[in-house]
Amino acid sequence: MRFGILKELTEKRVAITPDFVKKLVAQKHEVVFEKGCGANSALADVLFEEAGAQASDRTEVLSSSDVITTILPLATEELSNVKKGAVLISQFQPFAQAEVCETLANHGLTGFSLDMIPRSTIAQSMDVLSSMASISGYKAVLTAANYLPRYMPMLSTAAGTIRPAKMLVLGAGVAGLQAIATGRRLGAVVEAFDTRAAAKEEVLSLGAKFVEVEGATDDRGAGGYAVEQTEEYKKRQSELIFDKVSKADIVITTAQLRGRPAPLLVNEDMLKAMPDGAVCVDLAATTGGNVAFSKHREIVKQHGVTIIGNSELSDDVAEHASQLFSRNVENFLNVFLSEEGLTYDFENEIIGDSCIVYQGEVRYGAPALTK
């Protein structure tokens, strides 16, 4: 089979790195890459060539590859240039963009959506959402520190003692936990909130204080995502978060609901109550944001607070993000790739759940999630 690697049009990352190229070539597969595909990830063309890949232009990669892996889906206008019957692997998010399935089907393609891989123990090694979230959580704290007009750690100096910054993390999933760990390493006093009861032990193990609201809706079976809560719970949650936000120098928000807008956790009144110079980093900005006034890939100031909206901070750590993404793809393909090619066993939960279109036929069957 021939595997194609493209330069992402709006990302610094690249979906497949030279390490994986070597393994594909060792399995007797061909690999062709678009010139410059890894330039923004500190991966020069020569590294791909030394691994056994052939350099080409974008049109040739699209038209000659049997399998193309990208971080973000190809633009619709490019699909007509893709080889008939090719397999596309990307993050299609069919639960949010239902039309993508019909689009792929109309072009006679097969599509695997990496964000549909079950978030189970057996599939952890191929979970791109967790890999990228971990980097985003780390980068969120460093980004906040750059904009905060204060030190993070407590410092004792000849001129007096500087108190440590107070950091609040809303959402203690993969991104939140990495943010907690990074904030603690930098010397901040960290508190964290999450509706998921299972998060408490992990938060405490990292040395942060867990902010707990009684009466959360059971989140088991939610696949690591937050779940919708009752109005009574939201009221108690809002009151407690208001108190914590009003004292925080840094707020990192990570809460997302699959297929739905992100919950608003930090409203305008909370922003008004925050200290001047405080910073909010909103990692849920692409789905509406957890912070009022948040806009994806924009930095705005409201009521003396800097609001940084960016759900793709992992792109700012492009080299390691590419390495992890590529390893996730490698582990995914190992489930059904051999020297002979791809074997489709739809009884396998990983293959069955992630394949949204197969040879021009739509397989994704949960349209209710898009409502």
CATH number at residue 227: 3.40.50.720
Catalytically annotated residue among 2, 119, 236, 260: 119
Amino acid in the structure at residue 242: F
Q: Does 78 share its domain with 204?
A: no
Residue 323: inside a domain: no
Catalytically annotated residue among 225, 236, 246, 297: 225
Catalytically annotated residue among 130, 131, 238, 256: 130
DSSP lists the bridge partners of residue 88 as 68, 111
Length of the chain: 371
| C-alpha distances in Å from residue 125, one per residue of 13, 36, 99, 236, 335 | 19, 28, 29, 37, 11
pLDDT at res. 215: 73
13 DSSP assignment: -
Q: How far apart are CA 153 and CA 155, in angstroms?
A: 6
Q: Where are the alpha helices (DSSP H) in 246-359?
A: 268-273, 318-333, 349-354
| CB environment 27-58: b (16+ within 10 A), e (fewer) | eebbbbbbeebbebbebebeebeebbbebbeb
Q: Does 261 share its domain with 160?
A: yes
Count of other CB atoms within 10 angstroms of residue 255: 24
Q: Does 12 share its domain with 45?
A: yes
Catalytically annotated residue among 90, 127, 196, 311: 127
Q: Does 305 share its domain with 339?
A: no
Residue 119 appears among annotated catalytic residues: yes
The structural domain count of the chain equals 2
Q: How far apart are CA 135 and CA 179, in angstroms?
A: 9
pLDDT at res. 197: 79
Residue 327 appears among annotated catalytic residues: no
pLDDT at res. 280: 98
Q: Does 148 share its domain with 266?
A: yes
Catalytically annotated residue among 27, 124, 205, 338: 124
Q: Does 358 share its domain with 309?
A: no
Residue 127 appears among annotated catalytic residues: yes
Q: Does 198 share its domain with 303?
A: yes
Residue 190 is part of which domain span? 134-316
Amino acid in the structure at residue 260: R
DSSP lists the bridge partners of residue 276 as none
Q: Does 106 share its domain with 175?
A: no
What is the pTM for the complete model shown? 0.90
Q: How far apart are CA 59 and CA 77, in angstroms?
A: 12
Q: Does 62 share its domain with 203?
A: no
Residue 297 appears among annotated catalytic residues: no
Residue 124 appears among annotated catalytic residues: yes
pLDDT in tens, the chain (371 residues): 999 999 999 999 999 999 999 999 999 999 999 999 999 999 999 999 999 999 999 999 999 999 999 999 999 999 999 999 999 999 999 998 889 999 999 999 999 999 999 989 999 999 999 999 999 999 999 999 999 999 999 999 999 999 999 999 999 999 999 999 999 999 999 999 998 878 999 999 999 999 988 776 655 555 555 566 778 888 888 899 999 999 999 999 999 888 889 999 999 999 999 999 999 999 999 999 999 999 999 999 999 999 999 999 999 999 999 999 999 999 999 999 998 999 999 999 999 999 999 999 999 974 433 32
